[in-house]
Amino acid sequence: MALPPGPRSSLWSLVRYFRDPMGVMPAMAKEYGETFTIPGNPPLVCTGDPEGIKAIYAANPDTLEPLSKDLAFVLGDQSLILIGGPEHRRKRKLMMPPFQGARMRAYGAAMQRITEQHTAQWEPGRTVGGHETAQRISLEVILEVVFGLREPAERAELGRQLTELLEGFSPLLGIFPWLRREFGGIGPYAAFRRRQRAVHERVDALIAAAREDEGRDDILSLLIGARDEDGAPMSDEDVRQQLLLLVVAGHETTAIAIAWGLYALHQPQNVDVLERLRAELRALGPTPQPELVAKLPYLDAVCRETLRRHPLAPAPAPRRLLAPMTLGGYELPAGVGVAAAIGVAHLRAQSHPDPLRFRPERFLERKPSPFEYLPYGGGARRCLGAAMADYELRVVLGTLVHRFGLRLASNEPDRGKVRAANVGPAHGVKLVVESRRPVPGGS
Ligand code: HEM
């Protein structure tokens, strides 16, 4: 059966992706059309056409499964992101309540406090790393709201173990299964397994402690208390796998989004956007409440525009077809991979006029459909943490812009760099602190 056209070489496509992760998909769409095939085993049909995206997200979820389960040795084989069918639905329902919009107010104070703590040393004249600071903030937020660790020392210990595990992970282990052997305790896999065991022990101890303590309302405690339709709870092993998924899926993603927001807002050509945002924040007074910051309409538009202009991955979470599907006029057979190409959809002039320009106003003028604008994916697997990520992006960016006058240390455009499953800024978004508004009653 004929698949949509596309490049001939999978290796060359991969090289192009690493060289220009943001530009490659729009370039392929220009060459081959909005629905194209990247060769491989299986071939992956990507589409940026809203009709094609709708076909993927509206399909019966039982006819699709995650394309790759290669990361089961990292996340566990019951990790929500790796399972499909009725088991995925059951688990997702159990995990959903802590991520519903109404819960976010409870997390906002921690997000703001942690942002203030991590920028306490930002003094005028200093050059600071926007991405690095965002990474530290988002990791601490996860540790507090997910694991309930309110003490900085407790957060530091688990944070260190998790960072060692994630940063020490060699991508080669993901690509070559034959490397996943312990070889008598030496080599990258043995080192990975040692760190993984240490994290598991620590998380298991936190689960045991949470079972003893009924008065908590962090996500870990909510997962322990969750019951499915038959009244069954999640096992400890299951809770641990899902907690680690939340760290992996929620930490670097949010940090990258904050970093892109800082980058876009401080580009010289976007000075009017920054001014308008500052004025909106100033109107909230010297100590804005996080829930008021999170509701600001222009900040909301800025955050949406950040995720449109700088999507985190050009075609995240590909699926494998378990039944044939019609896509872009092609009859795709079962077995083929399909992916919504966010990187194409978000830069389509028909959906987002003047697509390369950072113009938050577009979101105040028109609401794009969920198949034209999909930073969190869609359908039955739409990002579980979307409400939390949206809230955190607003509170952290809002707090930083309210508190500091910043400028980019370099005005060189940042074309992005592949960072594990995401595309982040290549140069860390270095910023020079120009001014700092004092915290009333604080330092
Ligand atoms: C700006 C930040 C974030 C972005 C852009 C983002 C984006 C995404 C995308 C595109 C997917 C795949 C959706 C699909 O398959 O259609 C996803 C899945 C997921 N995300 Fe996020 N994410 C972010 C933050 C978070 C946070 C903070 C958490 C939790 C703490 C989280 C948890 C998850 C989980 C658990 C899944 C798997 C859902 C499933 O398979 O049912 N994400 N995310």
Q: Using one digit for the tens of pLDDT, what is the confidence trace for 339-367? A: 999 999 999 999 999 999 999 999 999 99
CA-to-CA distance for 254 and 386, rounded, in angstroms?
10
What is the CA(225)–ligand 1 centre distance, in A? 23
What is the CA(384)–ligand 1 centre distance, in A? 5
Task: Locate the ligand 1 atom nearest the alpha carbon of residue 242 and give its number.
Answer: 35
Instruction: Indicate whether 181 pLDDT > 90.
Output: no
Q: What is the CA radius of gyration of the chain?
A: 22
What is the CA(426)–ligand 1 centre distance, in A? 22
pTM: 0.95
What is the CA(100)–ligand 1 centre distance, in A? 14
pLDDT at 441: 56
Q: Using one digit for the tens of pLDDT, what is the confidence trace for 72-101? A: 888 999 999 999 999 999 999 999 988 988
Mutation test of ligand 1: which of 306, 383, 419 has the most ligand atoms closer than 8 Å to its C-beta? 383
Instruction: Indicate whether 408 pLDDT > 90.
Output: yes
Residues 164-180, mean pLDDT to the nearest whole number: 80
pLDDT at 418: 86
Task: Locate the ligand 1 atom nearest the alpha carbon of residue 375 and give its number.
Answer: 5
Instruction: Indicate whether 276 pLDDT > 90.
Output: yes
Highest mean pLDDT among 148-152, 227-231, 382-386 belongs to 382-386
CA-to-CA distance for 32 and 27, rounded, in angstroms?
9
- What is the number of H-type helices and E-type strands within the chain? 18, 12
Mutation test of ligand 1: which of 56, 376, 392 has the most ligand atoms closer than 8 Å to its C-beta? 376
> Mean pLDDT over all residues of the chain?
93
CA-to-CA distance for 207 and 2, rounded, in angstroms?
51
- Name the β-bridge partners of 367: none
SS3 37: strand
pLDDT at 439: 67
**Protein residue with least CA distance to atom 16, ligand 1:** 377
pLDDT range class, residue 145, cuts 50, 70, 90: very high
DSSP string computed for 293-322: HTT-HHHHHHHHHHHHHS-S-SS-S-EEES
Sign of the alpha-carbon torsion through 26, 32, 34, 35? negative
What is the CA(374)–ligand 1 centre distance, in A? 11
Residues 18-34, mean pLDDT to the nearest whole number: 93
Binding-site residues, ligand 1, Cβ < 6 A: 80-81, 92, 245-246, 249-250, 253-254, 257, 312, 316-317, 375-378, 381-385, 388-389
Could you tell me which of 435, 440, 442 has the C-alpha nearest to residue 125?
Answer: 435
Distance (Å) of CA 417 to CA 33, 46, 78, 252, 343: 25, 21, 30, 13, 14
Burial of 441 (0-12, 13-18, 19+ CB in 10 A): exposed
Highest mean pLDDT among 15-19, 47-51, 87-91 belongs to 47-51
Q: Using one digit for the tens of pLDDT, what is the confidence trace for 281-305? A: 999 999 899 999 999 999 999 999 9
Instruction: Indicate whether 168 pLDDT > 80.
Output: no
C-alpha dihedral over 168, 172, 177, 178, to 10 degrees? -100
Domains of the chain (ranges; CATH) run 10-148+216-436 (1.10.630.10)
Task: Locate the ligand 1 atom nearest the alpha carbon of residue 312 and give its number.
Answer: 5
Highest mean pLDDT among 150-159, 184-193, 385-394 belongs to 385-394
pLDDT at 234: 92
Task: Locate the ligand 1 atom nearest the alpha carbon of residue 57 and give its number.
Answer: 16
pLDDT at 443: 44
CA-to-CA distance for 390 and 402, rounded, in angstroms?
18
Task: Locate the ligand 1 atom nearest the alpha carbon of residue 247 and give its number.
Answer: 30
Could you tell me which of 12, 6, 8 has the C-alpha nearest to residue 29?
Answer: 6
Tokens at residue 114, please?
Answer: 């942690």
Q: Using one digit for the tens of pLDDT, what is the confidence trace for 306-336? A: 999 999 988 988 999 999 999 989 999 999 9
